Amino acid sequence: MFEIKERDGLARIGEFETEHGTVETPAIMPVVNPNKMTVSPRRMKETFGAQILITNSYVIYQTEELRKKALEEGLHSLLDFDFPIMTDSGTFQAHVYGDVDVDHQEIIGFQKRMDSDVSTILDEFTEPDDEREVAEEKVRKTMERARYAVEEYEDEKGHIALPVQGSVFPELRERAGKEMKRFEGVYPIGGVVPLLENYRFSDLVNIILSSKKGLGAKGPVHLFGAGHPMVYPLAVLLGVDLFDSSSYIKYARRGDLMYPDGTKKLREIEHFGCHCPTCMEHEPAELREMEEGERTELMAEHNLWVCFNEIEKVKQAVKEESVWEMAERRCRSHPHLLSGIKEVYDHWRYLERFEPRSRHGAVLYTGRGTLKRPLIRRFKEWVMEEYEPLFEAPTILFDAEEVNKPYNRSLRDELSRLEEAGANILFSTPLGPVPLELDETYPVPQSVFLDERKGKERKKELERYKEMKDLSEMVRYDDLDTLDEFSGNAGMCLDDMRVKTIADYQFGKGAGELFVQGKTEYVKNRKGRIKNVMLDGKHVLSLRHYDGLFTLKMAGAMILKEELEPPRMRVTVTEDSAEFNSQGKNVFCKFVIDADENIRPGDEVLVVDEYDNLVAAGRAFLNSQEMSDLKRGIAVRIREGRDDWSKKD
């Protein structure tokens, strides 16, 4: 029912299948009030491109005429909308008015009977200031109702929405998520409206992430009640798939226009700065003088345009793998959003599991936060903690600010002398200390930074590096008088150093030396850059131009499989799947038995059968958790199948 088609970290473009059609996520579900449709469902679809709507089953249930019609003709006929429709259950009404006049069995049954595509259980709305015990009790009740709904309707058509509650308690949210994950459904994150209303974005981030930790890769995940476009990029960054919005109409009624970076009052606007049809066809003053009903409708349409447009932008960002940039920029719209993204960085260890080692585009620095992105921190941490300088000689230091990238080409002459002498070369960069061997590897040459580090910070980083690597000496190149002291250290050429270091970074400790032990030869391009690594005459690795990381060839995969203990780099598949994969066909989630938890999306992997026989080499699209949580879609894109694999090896 839910499948990830494209991704950027936790952000994803997904396909959510329903009885009335497939929804491409992230998607907005505009709220339609069955009693008063300011913008008709048909118009929502045809003009604004809405793929799915949401309406309130409790309102229908309470209005005799609507209820009758809904039960007789079905929800889709009632709303005159032949596309997916989700229904809410009255939970929010209970939150606002204290109680609702229906029990949970009745309302879920009603939704089912009128043929809702996504029926929501009557969950218990946890308030941000609920005591822990109260919140726990509400989660327990919600769980009970979820179980009832799932068991009662498991054989029927249509999805059930199973909200994750838990107030602002991260462990409770995570636990609630973990419990809901056992059922198939749609997973709203509930109880967040009061946080959104009070701009408590740091709490919001915490809640989304703890719910996601519980839910794993399951989806679609719905941020219930989030209707303002200013939160979309942040929420999508964290893996939210669905938004609903009645804000478009609520804001319009009180004279407010939504923009991606905030809200403006119509009465204060002289220039719209927007080219949606409302703003193109009317002047602000004209709108102000209009009769209220007409004005509200036009403003609601402006708000819808802005919402749908912003979702398009986020989707384009997922496609370009630039959601981090987009979210970081948008979060500058309000100090409280900024505190939201700061909260995100604090969760980097979790987020890192979903982060590729490289992206299509450059890393564009948007501020100091950029340095706290999981991809960057992982890189910095690896250099600081895992990287092994190859020589015991002093390390020569260059200041990256004074050298064009890639460093090795700007410093060709200097480096050839140093290489001969066998020195370690280090660059002090905004990404921290970077050894020469990684100067063509993502994100080093692909990052555009503004170096805002203070002198003290740089010094501290370098001192830490010196300590971590147990270096006897670190000399600035400019302070270097002679190369004499290095004599006798040489032994490994820069090419070897580079291959060893990149392979260690990419495939893990010990992988690098496997490729430089034998007779290594390099095929280079015209600029002298390594293209292919040949070991004992076999093509084992190709160095990708765009990110300076390796593509694994079958011969290389064989070596890694032989030398690295399971489960390293492995994705274990069923025998049936192996048959296909050995012929070069992709690995699908449902055939994955197990996978190395250190695999990151985009990583080169070894596809093996249950007996650890190599089946194919490929590139992971998902990490191990995702491979296990998802029922559909590609897990590994196979590059090379092993045609001599056979069922019984």
Decide if 614 contacts 526 (C-beta within 8 A).
Answer: no
Which range, of 153-161, 219-227, 334-342, 613-621, touches a copy of itself by CB under 8 A? 334-342
Is 513 a binding residue for a copy of itself by CB under 8 A? The answer is no
Q: Is 178 exposed, middle or buried (0-12, 13-18, 19+ CB in 10 A)?
A: middle
Q: Which is nearer to a copy of itself, 248 or 591 (CB)?
A: 248
Q: Which is nearer to a copy of itself, 342 or 529 (CB)?
A: 342
Is 329 a binding residue for a copy of itself by CB under 8 A? The answer is yes
Is 5 a binding residue for a copy of itself by CB under 8 A? The answer is no
Instruction: Identify the DSSP state of 39.
Output: S
* Maximum CA extent, the chain: 94
Q: Which two tokens stand for residue 111?
A: 């939704």
Q: Which is nearer to a copy of itself, 343 or 504 (CB)?
A: 343
Which range, of 265-273, 389-397, 492-500, 619-627, touches a copy of itself by CB under 8 A? 265-273
CA angle 373, 375, 381 (to 5 degrees): 95
Is 365 a binding residue for a copy of itself by CB under 8 A? The answer is yes
Is 131 a binding residue for a copy of itself by CB under 8 A? The answer is no
Which range, of 149-157, 337-345, 533-541, 640-648, touches a copy of itself by CB under 8 A? 337-345
Strand locations in 527-603 (E): 530-535, 538-543, 550-552, 570-573, 587-588, 592-595
Is 294 a binding residue for a copy of itself by CB under 8 A? The answer is no
Sign of CA dihedral 106, 107, 113, 117: negative
Strands 604-608 and 570-573: parallel
Is 328 a binding residue for a copy of itself by CB under 8 A? The answer is yes
Query: What is the rounded distance in angstroms from the CA atom of residue 377 to the CA atom of residue 141?
Result: 40
Query: What is the rounded distance in angstroms from the CA atom of residue 200 to the CA atom of residue 161?
Result: 25
What is the total count of residues that contact a copy of itself (CB under 8 A)? Answer: 40
Tell me the three state secondary structure of residue 422: coil
Is 372 a binding residue for a copy of itself by CB under 8 A? The answer is no
CB of 348 to a copy of itself, least distance (A): 18
- State residue 616 phi and psi, 5-degree precision: -165, 165
Q: Which is nearer to a copy of itself, 3 or 504 (CB)?
A: 3
Is 277 a binding residue for a copy of itself by CB under 8 A? The answer is yes
Instruction: By CB under 8 A, name the one of 17, 137, 261, 352 that touches a copy of itself.
Output: 261
Which range, of 129-137, 244-252, 448-456, 640-648, touches a copy of itself by CB under 8 A? 448-456
Q: Which is nearer to a copy of itself, 96 or 285 (CB)?
A: 285
CB of 367 to a copy of itself, least distance (A): 5
CB of 134 to a copy of itself, least distance (A): 26
Between helix 292-320 and helix 323-330 the angle, nearest 10°, is 140
Is 273 a binding residue for a copy of itself by CB under 8 A? The answer is yes
Q: Which two tokens stand for residue 195?
A: 């946080």
Q: Looking only at residues 550 through 569 of this chain, which bind a copy of itself when binding is defined by CB under 8 A?
A: none
Q: Which is nearer to a copy of itself, 19 or 457 (CB)?
A: 457
Known catalytic residues? 88
Query: What is the rounded distance in angstroms from the CA atom of residue 135 to the CA atom of residue 533?
Result: 58
Decide if 210 contacts 176 (C-beta within 8 A).
Answer: no
Kindly report each contact of residues 516-523 with a partner whose C-beta sits within 8 Å and lies 24 or more positions away, as own/partner. Answer: 516/492, 520/496, 522/495
Q: Which is nearer to a copy of itself, 276 or 635 (CB)?
A: 276
Tell me the three state secondary structure of residue 95: helix
Residues contributing to the site for a copy of itself (CB under 8 A): 261, 264, 268-277, 280, 305, 309-310, 312-313, 315-316, 319-320, 328-329, 332-336, 338-339, 342, 364-368, 448-450
